[in-house]
Amino acid sequence: MKNTILKHSFTASMLVLFLISFTSFGQENEAKNFKMLYKFNTVKQADNTRFLEVSFIARNKKNKKDKVPVFDAEIQFYNTTDDEDILLGTAKTDDTGFASITMPASHEYVLDADGYINLSAKFKGSKQIKRKSKSIQVKDIFMELDLKEIDSVRTVIVTAFTIDSLGVKNKADNIDIFISVGAMISNMKLEEATIENGTYAYEFPTDIPGNVDRNIDVYTTIDDHDDYGTVVQKNNATWGVYTVKEKNADNTLWSSLAPLWMYVVLGILLGGIWINFIFTLLELKKIKKEGLLIEAENNPEN
Amino acid sequence: MILNNRHKELVKEFSPMLESTSKLAKIWMGFLVAVLLVGFYAFIVQVSQGHGVTGMRDNVVWGVFIINFIFFVGISYSGAFIGGVLHFIDAPWKHSVTRIIEIITVLSLIVGPIFILLCIGRLDRLHYLFMYPRIQSPITWDIIAIMTDLVGCFIYLYLTFIPDLAILRDSDDLKIAPWRKKLYTFLAIGYQDTDEQRARLHKITKTMSAMIIALAIVAYTVLAWIFSLTLQPGWNSSIFAPYFIIAGLYSGMGIIIICMYLVRRIFKLENYLKTIHFTVAGFVLLVLSMLFGYFTFSEYFARWFSHKTHDQALLDTLFTRYFWEFIFANYIGVLVPFGILFFKKFRNIKSITIAAVIAVVGLWVNRYLMVVPTLETPYLPIQDTREAFVHYSATWVEYALSFAGIALFCLLFTVIVKFVPVIPISGIIDSEKKTTTTTNDQ
Amino acid sequence: MEDNKKDKNTNRRNFLKLGLMSSVTAIAGTSLVSSLASEEEASGHSHPAEKMRLLTTDGTIVEVDAKNINKYPEAHITADESRKGIPNKHFVMVIDLARCKNARKCVEGCQKAHKLDTNEEFMKVQLMQDNEEASPYWLPKPCMHCDQPPCVTVCPTGATFKREDGIVLIDNDRCIGCKFCVTSCPYSARQFNWGHKDKFDDKSQPYSPETSIPAAEGTVMKCDFCPDMLRQGKLPHCASSCPMGVIYFGDKNEDIVTNGDETVRFSELIKERGGYRHLEHLGTKPNVYYLPAVDRQFPLERGFNVDEEIMDRYKDVPYIKDLKKQGKL
């Protein structure tokens, strides 16, 4: 009897332990109900820094509209090479599911045989969430934006070039760009064009107001090019034709100060009326005084 | 003040009213207090549960409270106007009614603004009207006008009380409590009816009468501007201010007639409130009914004739949803008093009073039809499924408070006529002097 | 033309559905379409607005307090400051009636952002039919923020005011509830708080006229053009919630308006599409322009796909009456 119990107790306890861990595992891991959407993107910004961003969002398998950001996941950004992956930086996803780093302009990437920078963003994974990795290949391109007045025509000149391993500038060709101007909420596209032979010139419209100082921010963007990814460059010039709007008039019906004539009329009316009231009260006082005098006269007689 | 025999006679005649309260009066006052308490309870309900307990909702945001406000303030201004004008008319019969008119003026000017306060969403912030006033707003003008008018009417009423208070103070055979005697003494400010005092009093009363007439017109114009200076169909009319004044005078005259009738009946003052008073009042009411009908017709006729879209929508509402109210207010309310007063055969005291009652109620309904249908037919159509937001219907809170307002008016009137004689004694003596002078001259 | 527009908008809707817009596209200036937070709102989520769900790396879903998009208390604009406005701006809105299909996302987005109840609407969608022969159209109607506002003129305490940047706001702490402004607005844009609601006691963020939160009992409220979003360079909630890009918003001084997707010259938009303002003859000079409902993108009936209670609101429109008579509704 004792032996049978002992023989089976071990298996039984293992079974129990296994079951416990299984259920607790099942209760905690809600992640398995979600499909992980992992995206990686990069932009070269106007100051030649490179912005790398990952979006890590979980979508409910049963309810496709239910999307929950993955929070506090550590993402590591690498410059992958044939030999080893160079760690560029790490970032944790915030409460909207985005993690990003910005690489300084001076950073020198290791290129592969075809001249591409290979970037990857890796999520190491956890017990409940599988590891993720996405990579992008971009070639480095330099874009410059000049705002010049040539023969009294305001021209936007975009130049783009790559620098090869020998440090030689090579003009870029056949690259689609668009030129936009900055505005308060969203930039406005002016022109879509293609850079031919390293340059593109655009006659800037003469009727854009700009901001109050007549300053206009001009942007040129390469949008999701196969080789170069997304690149943005910006410049500004006082090419605006902003006309200073006359200040909202004061002393109107809807301003805080009323039209002057209202104060005058009100003053005259009220002044006249209340002066009369005061006059009346003063006369009443005189009546009272007279009455008291008379009473005084009468009383000694009594 | 030296009281001659006539003074003493009159005091004796009026002393029952001043000295004691009859049983009927007590029951009456008790009833009024009960109505007031119900109204007070309704007020508490409104303050604690918010304005949602009224029928007002997002489209019709002004309802019975504003209507009562316009109505009572209209009575007040018309009383001021008529009282002021009467001061300048040299008729022996005027003295009997002046006090009634002035009391009505002041009392309705107390009750009216109470209604507008009920309409204000945040009573705890009322002082902002004085801390941050914007003088472009018609409401600011209205507040200034009402306050000025209230002070003016009070002063005027007081001025007319002074000679009577002096008489009462010096009447030794008036059996009243000592505190009342002291009050009379204090308020009579030593008036001894000397020539100088009388001259001074007459001078300031004359200036105040002229001022009261002007104030009445200006103040009610300003109230009309609250509506006519907006863009809304039905309100944006150029004749609103004169229309309001005529309408106010109409209702005021009606109330004066009703009060004259009640005072005459209850206090048995047939000697003082004679047929001539009612005939003159009836005649004035007749003229006013014609003017009121003329203005009302002008308003609606122009809108109907030119049939602008939004005017059309407003008229549709008036002639469908408010059909019977429209008929009552603008046909019956005008034509019946007109019919009664025009024909000499019908002109007796009772029928004149009935005409006055119809006029007053008709005018209240007319004010209702002025305020509510416009708010129910805005420029951009109301597209809402909640009935309360589409059509306005007053709730018990609003009715309770309306009746409480009327009760307050009646209660204050009852209390005042216990305090001062409802027919001014000095006035009677003045009018008798005048008739004797004229008889003597003849 | 219409097909082009259709494609564009299908793409936009897909983007919205995927909710995968990143800061990248914002930097590139190509599109502003929603971040995840407002996307959850647009998708009609049943989760309460106050909490946000996050998935942590150990696979658990936690709920945290939703970070205030308005960055309070750091960006709190007091009542006095809110009277001045954002300098050198003149805000203007353009609503494209040719695209509106009564999706009511603008209504819901605004309600969520301003913590309004279901039947409190700062942005209303009305069904207008200008005359018997005309085709009815959906009219999203916010406050017009008129340049000559009748509501501001009649306020006795200065609780409602017009700022330098054109926005008309209400200071709940100053309003005495006289409702004169409600009766004066010809567009019926204002609403009144008739009784106490629990949400008025919410002290989690300090009151600012720019957010209109929390509202107060016995005071007036209305569309405020979301100045708190404008200060962050974002669109008002109605504009960003609209799936069809119906609502454009921008600064008239820089002459550029955007609906989050397309950014265009304001003057050109109005000239080319025949933009107009409602009730122009009343002289209020509203700042909301409408593009006429021509070349409609959707048949009107697409907009009937709403709650019966909401459809019932339009029962007096002649077209609806006809449909009912014919038994088609």
Question: pLDDT band for position C2 (50/70/90)?
Answer: very low
Report how far apart, in Å, the C-alpha atoms of B255 and of each of B5, B265, B353 are.
Answer: 35, 15, 9
Residue contact B144–A258, C-beta within 8 A: no
The enclosing H or E element of B54 equals: none
Q: Is C150 in CB contact (< 8 Å) with chain B?
A: yes
Q: Closest Cα to residue B159, out of A284, A295, A291?
A: A284
Say if residue C37 is exposed, middle or buried (CB neighbours under 10 Å; 0-12, 13-18, 19+): middle
**Shortest Cα distance, chain C CAs vs residue A9, angstroms:** 33
Nearest CA in chain A to C230: A185
Handedness of CA A119, A124, A128, A130 (dihedral sign): positive
- The pLDDT tens digits for B176-213 are 888 888 888 888 888 888 888 889 999 999 999 999 99
Question: pLDDT band for position C141 (50/70/90)?
Answer: very high
Handedness of CA C321, C322, C326, C329 (dihedral sign): negative
* Residue labelled with tokens 């913590």: C115
Q: Closest Cα to residue C187, out of C82, C285, C306?
A: C285
Cα Dmax for chain B: 77
Question: pLDDT band for position C70 (50/70/90)?
Answer: low
Q: What is the pLDDT of residue C71?
A: 57
**C303 in Cβ contact with C138 (< 8 Å):** yes
**C177 in Cβ contact with B160 (< 8 Å):** no
- The pLDDT tens digits for C271-298 are 999 999 999 999 999 999 999 999 888 8
Residue contact A184–C250, C-beta within 8 A: yes
Q: What is the pLDDT of residue A266?
A: 93
Which tokens hold the place of B407? Answer: 């009760």
Selected residue of A256, A273, A275, A302 to mutate for chain B interface (largest B Cβ count, 10 A): A273
Which tokens hold the place of B167? Answer: 């008489």
Which amino acid makes up residue C193? Answer: N
Which tokens hold the place of A298? Answer: 């009468």
Q: What is the mean pLDDT of residues A141-166?
A: 89
Q: Closest Cα to residue B61, out of B396, B322, B375, B398?
A: B375
Residue contact C263–A183, C-beta within 8 A: yes
Residue contact C258–A185, C-beta within 8 A: yes
Chain centroid to CA A115: 32
Question: A229: which strand partners?
Answer: A225
Q: What mean pLDDT, rounded, does chain C reach?
A: 83
**CA-CA distance, B341 to B297, in Å (whole number)?**
20
Question: pLDDT band for position B373 (50/70/90)?
Answer: very high
Question: pLDDT band for position B141 (50/70/90)?
Answer: very high
Question: pLDDT band for position B3 (50/70/90)?
Answer: confident
Question: pLDDT band for position C15 (50/70/90)?
Answer: very low
Contacts of B360 (CB under 8 A, 6+ apart): B251, B254, B255, B258
- Taking a contact as any Cβ pair under 8 Å apart, which residues of chain C between 16 and 75 contact chain B? none
Measured between beta carbons, the chain B residues lying within 8 angstroms of A291 are 188-192, 197
**CA-CA distance, B147 to B149, in Å (whole number)?**
5
SS (H, E, C) B356-369: HHHHHHHHHHHHHH
Which tokens hold the place of C92? Answer: 């203007």
**What is the DSSP secondary structure assignment for residue A82, as one 8-state letter?**
S
Report how far apart, in Å, the C-alpha atoms of A60 and of each of A125, B101, B113 are.
Answer: 19, 80, 62
**CA-CA distance, C39 to C22, in Å (whole number)?**
12
**CA-CA distance, C143 to C122, in Å (whole number)?**
7
Question: pLDDT band for position B345 (50/70/90)?
Answer: confident
**Statement: residue C36 has pLDDT above 50:** no
- The pLDDT tens digits for C227-237 are 999 998 899 99
* Residue labelled with tokens 């001025």: B159
Residue contact B190–A292, C-beta within 8 A: yes
Q: What is the pLDDT of residue A249?
A: 78
Residue contact C60–A208, C-beta within 8 A: no
**Shortest Cα distance, chain C CAs vs residue A285, angstroms:** 37
Continuous H helices in C29-94: 36-42, 79-82
Rounded to a whole number of angstroms, the CA Rg of chain A reads: 39
**CA-CA distance, A46 to C146, in Å (whole number)?**
40
Which tokens hold the place of B422? Answer: 């409802």
Report how far apart, in Å, the C-alpha atoms of C135 and of each of C47, C128, C131 are.
Answer: 38, 9, 8
For the ranges A234-243, B224-233, C161-170, the lowest mean pLDDT is seen at A234-243
Question: pLDDT band for position C10 (50/70/90)?
Answer: very low
Provide the whole-model pTM: 0.88
Residue contact B61–C278, C-beta within 8 A: no
Residue contact A68–C230, C-beta within 8 A: no
Q: What is the pLDDT of residue C1?
A: 37
**CA-CA distance, C120 to C134, in Å (whole number)?**
30
* Residue labelled with tokens 């008309």: C168
Q: Is A105 in CB contact (< 8 Å) with chain B?
A: no
Q: Is C148 in CB contact (< 8 Å) with chain B?
A: no
Q: Is C162 in CB contact (< 8 Å) with chain A?
A: yes
Which of B119, B129, B383 is the closest to C157 by Cβ?
B129
Q: How many CB pairs under 8 A join B and C?
A: 133
**Statement: residue A183 has pLDDT above 50:** yes
Which tokens hold the place of B14? Answer: 């009026």
What subunits touch chain B, counting only 3 or more CB pairs under 8 A? A, C
Question: pLDDT band for position B158 (50/70/90)?
Answer: very high
Question: pLDDT band for position A3 (50/70/90)?
Answer: low
Q: Is C19 in CB contact (< 8 Å) with chain A?
A: yes
Q: What is the mean pLDDT of residues B108-126?
A: 94
**More confidently predicted of C72 and C273:** C273
Nearest CA in chain A to B186: A288
Measured between beta carbons, the chain B residues lying within 8 angstroms of A250 are none
Q: Is A246 in CB contact (< 8 Å) with chain C?
A: no
- Taking a contact as any Cβ pair under 8 Å apart, which residues of chain C between 209 and 248 contact chain A? 230, 233-235
**Statement: residue C47 has pLDDT above 50:** no
**Statement: residue A20 has pLDDT above 70:** no
Q: What is the pLDDT of residue C19?
A: 34
Contacts of C325 (CB under 8 A, 6+ apart): none
Q: Is C279 in CB contact (< 8 Å) with chain B?
A: yes
SS (H, E, C) A12-75: HHHHHHHHHHHHHHHHHCHHHHEEEEEEEEEEECCCCCEEEEEEEEEEECCCCCCEEEEECCEE
Question: pLDDT band for position C11 (50/70/90)?
Answer: very low
**C266 in Cβ contact with A194 (< 8 Å):** no
Measured between beta carbons, the chain A residues lying within 8 angstroms of B141 are 266
Residue contact A270–B208, C-beta within 8 A: no
- Taking a contact as any Cβ pair under 8 Å apart, which residues of chain A between 61 and 80 contact chain C? 65-74
Percent of chain A with pLDDT over 70: 90
ipTM attached to this prediction: 0.90
Pairing of strands A229-237, A34-44: parallel
**CA-CA distance, C171 to C159, in Å (whole number)?**
5
Question: pLDDT band for position A30 (50/70/90)?
Answer: confident
Q: What is the pLDDT of residue C215?
A: 92
Nearest CA in chain A to C46: A66
- The pLDDT tens digits for B67-78 are 999 999 999 999
Selected residue of C183, C281, C306 to mutate for chain B interface (largest B Cβ count, 10 A): C183
Selected residue of A264, A283, A285, A287 to mutate for chain B interface (largest B Cβ count, 10 A): A287
Write the DSSP string, A173-187: -SEEEEEEE--SSS-
**Statement: residue A46 has pLDDT above 80:** yes
Q: Is C280 in CB contact (< 8 Å) with chain B?
A: no
Inter-axis angle of helices B64-88 and B94-119, nearest 10: 160
**CA-CA distance, C175 to C168, in Å (whole number)?**
14
**Shortest Cα distance, chain A CAs vs residue B86, angstroms:** 20
Cα first-last separation, chain C: 31
Contacts of B36 (CB under 8 A, 6+ apart): B404, B407, B408, B411
Measured between beta carbons, the chain B residues lying within 8 angstroms of C314 are 383
Which amino acid makes up residue A137? Answer: Q
Q: What is the pLDDT of residue A31?
A: 76
Q: Is A248 in CB contact (< 8 Å) with chain C?
A: yes
Q: What is the pLDDT of residue A85?
A: 87
Phi, psi at A220, each rounded to 5°: -130, 140
**CA-CA distance, B14 to A85, in Å (whole number)?**
114
**CA-CA distance, B265 to B276, in Å (whole number)?**
16
Nearest CA in chain C to A185: C233
**More confidently predicted of C39 and C301:** C301
Residue contact B197–A287, C-beta within 8 A: yes
- Taking a contact as any Cβ pair under 8 Å apart, which residues of chain A between 98 and 117 contact chain C? 98, 100
Q: What is the pLDDT of residue A6?
A: 61
